[in-house]
Amino acid sequence: MPDAKPPLTLLIAAPRGFCAGVDRAIRIVELALERYGAPVYVRHEIVHNKFVVEALKTKGAVFVPELDQVPDGVPVVFSAHGVPKAVPAKAEARGLDYIDATCPLVSKVHRQAERHIEKDRHILFIGHAGHPEVIGTLGQVPAGSITLIETRADAEAVIPADPERLAFLTQTTLSVDDTAEIVDILRRRFPSIEAPKREDICYATSNRQAAVKAIAGRCDAMLVIGAPNSSNSVRLVEVAEREGTRARLVGRGSDIDFDWLGDVRTLGITAGASAPEVLVREVVDAIAQRFEIEEAPVDGVEERMTFKLPAGLAA
């Protein structure tokens, strides 16, 4: 008789996985394929998840890093992370049909940036260098009108030309706690700095981090389903670790390191905003091969946010 599997309680965070912006972006690619037929080109990954990207490839989406790699005469979709203004301008100059799948919450940050520049304010932008969302936001306004702030040290060191004419904005997928610490420094150093009317960190990022905090203290370890280049997923690992729980990022069920899990008795699971629920179930199924699992109920915020599709694609 085979050895009995050890018991394991699973706490699956709520909410988790896809947010409204990711749902919308994927749907835009699917509808573009229905409208135009394959191939539809997509500049950069539509969202940061290999499983999602590969699924769209099988339907006829072609992902390219730059607009120069999009042939003439075919439609192109811009990713959910947003693009610099120069990208749609270049598409228009080439006569390309393009569809902008930028998350509306990212677009809101873009509009705020434009308004601050119109009012002659210099922007301190809290974010991670090289992230597509940051590149897109910096590309909304003239060069030199935004200073990127990545760390608390950056916030302490920045010396703006006019401390009385400042505003700050943030990337939408940051750590809520880390960002609050940076904002506190900026407010202390520059009391008149203009803040966003509403927090720029998006509802989905905030909710998923709160959901991790709600269960981390009850877990021996946590798995976060998401991609290494997914900012919001990496932040979930950091949040769990900050709560004192060891955590690891996994792409899917086959990525689980069971040696790392060790003798856990209670395991937390969550998923970043670009990871579909099917991968959550795949991870649970993989764990069930080794453990006798029991899923404990977890209550969380119910998300009802939806975003309109671009004109011309909506049914």
pLDDT digit string (tens) for 128-154? 999 999 999 999 999 999 999 999 999
Which residue among 66, 83, 100 closes a domain?
A: 100
- If DSSP states are collapsed to H, E and C, what string results for 155-204? HHHCCCCCCCCEEEEECCCCCHHHHHHHHHHHHHHCCCCECCCCCCCCHH
pLDDT surpassing 90 at residue 312: no
Cα separation, 224 vs 230, whole angstroms: 11
Q: Which residues are catalytic?
A: 133
CA 295 – CA 31 distance, rounded (Å): 36
Q: Domain boundary at 100, 126, 161, which?
A: 100
| Residue 2 pLDDT grade (very low, low, confident, very high; cuts 50, 70, 90) | low
Q: What is the mean pLDDT of residues 49-57?
A: 97
Residue 314: what pLDDT? Answer: 64
Q: How large is the greatest C-alpha to C-alpha distance in the chain, in angstroms?
A: 76
Q: How many domains does the chain have?
A: 3
Q: What is the mean pLDDT of residues 151-160?
A: 98
Task: Tell me, yes or no, whether 11 and 27 share the same domain.
Answer: no
Q: What is the per-residue pLDDT across 88-100, written as a single tens digit (0 to 9) for each? A: 999 999 999 999 9
In a domain, 311, yes or no: no
Read off the CATH number of the domain in which 145 is found: 3.40.1010.20
Residue 179 and residue 94 share a domain = no
Span 235-278, pLDDT tens digits: 999 999 999 999 999 999 999 999 999 999 999 999 999 999 99
Same domain, 88 and 119: no
Domain end: 163, 189, 215, which one?
189
Mean pLDDT for the stretch of residues 296-310: 93
DSSP-derived secondary structure letter, 73: T
Same structural domain for residues 248 and 261? yes
Helices 20-36, 104-118: inter-axial angle, 10-degree rounding: 100
| DSSP line for 15-64 | S-S--HHHHHHHHHHHHHHHHH-S-EEEES-SSS-HHHHHHHHHHTEEEE
Average pLDDT over residues 175-194: 97
Q: What is the pLDDT of residue 1?
A: 46
What range defines the domain where residue 14 resides?
A: 7-18+203-296
Q: Which residues of 134-149 are buried (b: 16+ CB within 10 A; e: fewer)?
A: bbbbbbbbeeeebbbb
Give this prediction's pTM. Answer: 0.94
Per-residue pLDDT reduced to its tens digit, 268-296: 999 999 999 999 999 999 999 999 999 99
Indicate whether 52 and 119 sit together in one domain.
no
Per cent of the chain over pLDDT 70 is: 99
